Amino acid sequence: MQKPYRIKTISEFHQLRGLPKPEHPLISVVDYGSIIHSSDFNLTSWTLDFYSISLKRNSAVKMKYGQQEYDFDDGILFFMAPGQVFRIEIGNDRKPEHAGWILLVHPDFIWNSALAKNIRKYEYFDYSVNEALFLSEKEEVVLNDIVGNIRQEYHSNIDKFSQDIIISHITTLLNYAERFYHRQFITRKITNHKLLDRLEEILVEYFREGDLREKGLPSVQYVADLLNVSPKYLSGLLNVLTGQSTQQHIHDKLIEQAKEKLSTTDLPITAIAYELGFEHSQSFSKLFKSKTKLTPVEFRRSFT
Is pLDDT of 66 > 80? no
Percent of residues, the chain, with pLDDT higher than 70: 85
Classify domain 210-302 by CATH number: 1.10.10.60
Task: Residue 131: name the closest of 82, 199, 198, 63 by CA.
Answer: 63
**Which positions ≥6 away from 145 have C-beta within 8 Å?**
none
Residue 54, Cβ neighbours under 10 Å: how many?
A: 21
Is pLDDT of 92 > 90? no
Is pLDDT of 302 > 60? yes
Q: How far is CA 185 from the centre of its chain?
A: 13
Say what the pLDDT of residue 2 is.
65
Q: For residue range 26-52, list pLDDT tens digits in order.
A: 999 999 888 876 655 555 688 899 999
Classify domain 5-188 by CATH number: 2.60.120.280
Q: Residue 61's pLDDT band (boundaries 50, 70, 90)?
A: low
Q: Residue 251's pLDDT band (boundaries 50, 70, 90)?
A: very high
Say what the pLDDT of residue 70 is.
47
Is pLDDT of 96 > 80? no
Packing angle of the helix pair 162-187, 137-155 (nearest 10 deg): 170
Q: Calculate the average pLDDT of the chain.
A: 85
Q: Residue 186's pLDDT band (boundaries 50, 70, 90)?
A: confident
Is pLDDT of 283 > 70? yes
Say what the pLDDT of residue 91 is.
54
Say what the pLDDT of residue 211 is.
74
Say what the pLDDT of residue 131 is.
83
Is pLDDT of 73 > 60? no
Burial class (CB in 10 A: 0-12, 13-18, 19+), 64: middle
**Which positions ≥6 away from 14 have C-beta within 8 Å?**
20, 21, 22, 28, 30
What's the CA gap between 70 and 142, in Å, rounded?
24
Is pLDDT of 272 > 50? yes
Say what the pLDDT of residue 68 is.
46
pTM (global) more than 0.85: no
Q: For residue range 217-234, list pLDDT tens digits in order.
A: 899 999 999 998 999 999
Q: Where are the domains of the chain?
A: 5-188, 210-302
Say what the pLDDT of residue 194 is.
85
Is pLDDT of 279 > 80? yes
Q: Which amino acid type is present at position 84?
A: Q
Task: Residue 121: name the closest of 44, 194, 174 by CA.
Answer: 174
Q: For residue range 127-161, list pLDDT tens digits in order.
A: 876 788 888 889 999 999 999 999 999 888 778 89
